[in-house]
Structure 1
């Protein structure tokens, strides 16, 4: 089980193939720069949210492959939620660190549970209503039932989610999500203390200290073979795992990515859901063990396939023995509940078949087959993978970063107080050491906060009879909106036009609209992450991302559904709130033509009809260039609203029907 077999068999051939695979994985999984960017923008957005909210509000943590930096097809978004006024402790002596009058303490009782699982006993007389509803009485104490809590909270975040493991799961616009309502503990689990002693070479001592200080979480699922399955909770090391993945070098991360691809495209290919016994968590665990045991002395591009092979051999060994030790609590055998008996035997035979083929089994990996064949047909081919920055062009990188920042850069100020808290948090972070990606992220976040605050302020004083207060509020709102135009993207100026329209300044609104239309029409402007490469490079190539954002990027318009922007969209926002959608996202050109139509209705009816025609052409004929496919439903709806206002009820009905069809297709 020592040497993987594949033609050519020479050491040089294996190195060439490894380097070719490294290049392929950088393109498929991402270069180290891309991965760092993805992590940084996620980290800073989460930091702003959690630093701003008060102790009575829920904390949020993105986890899983998306947080780790993967953006491959099938990379779902896992999010954990918990109240930080409901901490879990391991023993009663830890109560000294909490205010028992303001916090609902929960005690972990693991004496009757399998390794890695525990019962959660509520110590405080009062707690959140959902906790109270999930209580069961055992051994004279009140315990939180994981099965009851999971059912109660499954659809808290996204309506109509289905229970999947400890999570509420579903699909939004083709992107799978898992949301887990959990509990947090500030202390490292005693059952995982041996992990600290194992960390001699990896991870680094500062990473170990950071992980231990961060504690752990508890997710709502019990052990299938435990005595209290419906009431037990699994100890989750998601935060620790995220820090471990962050501490990997890029070859280690790509090896993990290759294992994930091999699992999906080779091992699980053609199997039914009930037959897919291995998951990506097992792959990650194998990489963790291989790095820590220092079996592979040099994780580098030239050794990539050897690294993969050693990890695959370890997984094969685990399946043969029926034991997959959890990385933090080795006594927790993660195969115990489902990989045993006949299922274990079938899985071993399948994996052993791939093992006997050697590295040639990677030819079944459709994503990367061409990179292997390239070397097989050209054995003397020299691959230069030392400078991975050349693998992805500047424009390709920008085509990912701007849509990525636009999608993730969303925080929702509930009122003016929260808006100011958000801005204060951003102000504090600006003096912290930040990466260039995090600076860009704060720029986008600040723009959204100011947009929201401007309309919140306008709504607060729109009905006041005190002209001075209304005048001051208007000046402040205008100042905030104009400020965003100096550092936001091109389409952010449409918020100014929206504000002018709402405050009946139609001429001023149209002036902003026309100027924005000219800017958006420039051939170098990036829409939906696509752009004319040559024109874009000529216009902003080599400049900072902050400059590119201001001069060459159009982002979607994002409306907080609890804020009234313009009356014509209020019904849509109310329906969205009923569907638990906190934000409305609209393509910028749809907003532009809508506002142009609404303004001209009060000035020039012929030009109003022209604007409506432009909107109709855009919605009817755009093929995803300016109207993202996931936003076609709201675009049809807005077209219908404008047609209804104009009196063309038949056209409006057709647009509404198209909107419903689009929703059903999605």
Structure 2
């Protein structure tokens, strides 16, 4: 009897937990105001109306401000649980998941793994301020492409236990050592494979071919993760040059936070360098995440739309252009233009502005890296002239289409075609499912950490799972009403969360 009462209590908590957020998400969505179909030259009023409508549609699709902030909070909580146990590596979620801008299975989850007990520093940093149990490498940026460096051993730790660092050290004469990026990532890959092979858990993991500094992995056949191993980096001069730039955005308090988050080096050299096997790239992953999380709702949606255009229309096959290029276009746009200019009625204006910047970057093969402008993100991108001309032509046509360019995006087109009631039901169901899954992951990790056992009963987990089953039944019922097959309902639920 007591267990049944406890279950009811936690089941009600699950409802209360998600109901308020769902109401706020629904409140964000106003009634549709126009049909996106126009001939001739669109008026300013029409373009603004379409912009407002697209903002509303994107909120229904799960890209509104409320759900975005909730995702950020939940992935941060997940990281805290994962790092609760002592380990030689600290892991943190990066990329679109940390920015709250993708649904659960919509894209890979990026992890930055940072080695503890090792750091690299700029010239001029007093090594006496760094504890003796930390190995210190010096940054050498002579003769390398901007934003890259070599790492020279300045002071080994009193006792060097890190096998990854040991395996990657190379003697260069005169008793000096440098850290090879290729040997470093080879050792990380070897250790990861061993971990997967010796894993006794029920979830299958598959490690894929290396992609730049990332080690892609599929967990349980559906969850795709990119693991990037890194070393903490102190480079105050680079961050100072960024911080003192004249700008409209972000506010000074955010600038200071970005500076405090520091930098990292990842094991990848400049593509055309003869010494790329010993070069490292300087990155500002969490500073950039902080910047992206300070974009307003319209700016975030412009970023998502540009990524969709890149993926669905431009379709680069060999990463000649990546979403990281689009991210830097958005960051420059935000820095150079007053924040008040970005609102729901100006979304299409800034989308077209972003397309023009993307076209310019392709045409000139030039886009300055937001944190280190001396580094050209389009350098050595492998873009051939024929493909370059095609993409310039495609983007020009998209710009000339005006507001109708939005109809080329499948997600937007489907949302416009869908009837209002089914669309609203799908939106609420999809968002609730994602919330349930993320809450379940965090609760399971917390229980495992606190109890030390995976199978300790937890009524909140039972309540969440029961609600998931109810939603699956509701999805199946709706599909039967539409005359659809409901075989493999779990695959259908997975597709809802892409």
Q: TM-score, normalised by structure 2?
A: 0.76
* Partner SS state of residue 225, structure 1: coil
- Is it true that 1:238 corresponds to 2:285 in the alignment? yes
Q: Is it true that 1:19 corresponds to 2:73 in the alignment?
A: no
Q: Does 1:135 align with 2:179?
A: no
**Relative to 1, partners in 2 of residues 1:44 and 1:188: Cα closer, same or farther, differing over 3 Å?**
farther
C-alpha displacement of 1:68: 1.3
Structure with max Cα Rg: 1
CA apart distance, 1:227: 4.4
User: In structure 2, what is the equivalent of residue 99 of structure 1?
Assistant: 131
Partners of 1:122 and 1:143 within 8 A in 2: yes
Q: How has the CA–CA distance of structure 1 residues 340 and 139 changed in structure 2, closer, same or farther, with 3 Å as cutoff?
A: farther
Measure how far apart 1:96 and its partner are.
Answer: 2.4
Question: 8 Å contact 1:45–1:409 — kept in the other structure?
Answer: no
Partner secondary structure for residue 118 of structure 2: coil
The residue that corresponds to 2:437 in the other structure is 403
Pairing 1:383-422 to 2, within 5 Å after superposition? 397-409=431-443, 411=445
> Structure 1 CA distance, aligned partners of 2:45 and 2:417?
16
Alpha-carbon distance, 1:107 to partner: 1.4
Superposed counterparts of 1:195-214, under 5 Å: 195-198=242-245, 200-214=247-261
1:573-628 deviations in Å (ceiling 9; x for gaps):
xxxxxxxxxxxxxxxxxxxxxxxxxxxxxxxxxxxxxxxxxxxxxxxxx9556xx4
CA deviation digits over 1:263-306, x for unaligned, max 9? 111111xx5x23x5211111111000001001675211111111
Is the deviation greater in 354-363 or in 205-214? Answer: 354-363
Q: How big is each residue's C-alpha offset from its partner over 1:512-531, in whole Å with a ceiling of 9 and x where there is no partner?
A: xxxxxxx95xxxx4328536
Q: Distance in 2 between matches of 1:395 and 1:137?
A: 58
2:179 counterpart residue number: 144
- The reply on whether 1:489 has 2:431 as its aligned counterpart is no
| C-alpha distance in structure 2 between counterparts of 1:370 and 1:295, whole Å | 33
The CA deviation string for residues 72-98 of structure 1, in whole angstroms up to 9 with x for no partner, is 464111111122211121125331221
Contact 1:121–1:144 (CA under 8 A) maintained in structure 2? yes
**Structure 1, unaligned stretches of length 5 or more?**
375-382, 384-389, 412-444, 456-480, 493-518, 534-621, 632-666
1:124 to 1:301, Cα distance in 2 relative to 1, 3 A? same
Q: 1:304 aligns with which of 347, 357, 365?
A: 347
- Structure 2 CA distance for partners of 1:453 and 1:340, relative to 1, 3 Å: closer
Q: Deviations over 1:538-567 (max 9, x none)?
A: xxxxxxxxxxxxxxxxxxxxxxxxxxxxxx
Distance 1:66 1:7, change over 3 A: farther
**Structure 1 residues 367 and 68, CA gap change in structure 2 (3 angstroms):** same
**In the aligned structure 2, how far is the partner of 1:97 from the partner of 1:196?**
24
1:219-618 to structure 2, matched below 5 A, reads 219-268=266-315, 273-274=317-318, 276-294=319-337, 297-338=340-381, 342=385, 343-370=387-414, 397-409=431-443, 411=445, 445=446, 447-452=447-452, 484-485=458-459, 488-490=460-462, 525-527=467-469, 530=472, 532=474
Give the drift of 1:357: 3.5
For residues 359 and 347 of structure 2, the distance between their equivalents in structure 1, rounded to whole angstroms, comes to 18
Aligned twin of 2:227: 179
Equivalent of 2:91 in 60, 65, 78: 60
Question: Whose RCO is larger (CA < 8 A, sep 6+)?
Answer: 2
Cα distance, 1:17 vs. partner? 1.1
- Residue of structure 1 in register with 2:68 after alignment: 35
Query: How far 1:360 moved relative to its partner?
Result: 3.1
CA contact (8 A) 2:267 2:281 kept: yes
Shift in Å, 1:395 = 5.7
* CA drift at 1:261: 0.7
Q: What TM-score do the two structures reach when normalised by structure 1? A: 0.58
| Cα deviation 1:435-491 (Å, max 9, x = unaligned) | xxxxxxxxxx2x343443598xxxxxxxxxxxxxxxxxxxxxxxxx67x44xx2336
Instruction: Report how far residue 354 of structure 1 moved.
Output: 2.9
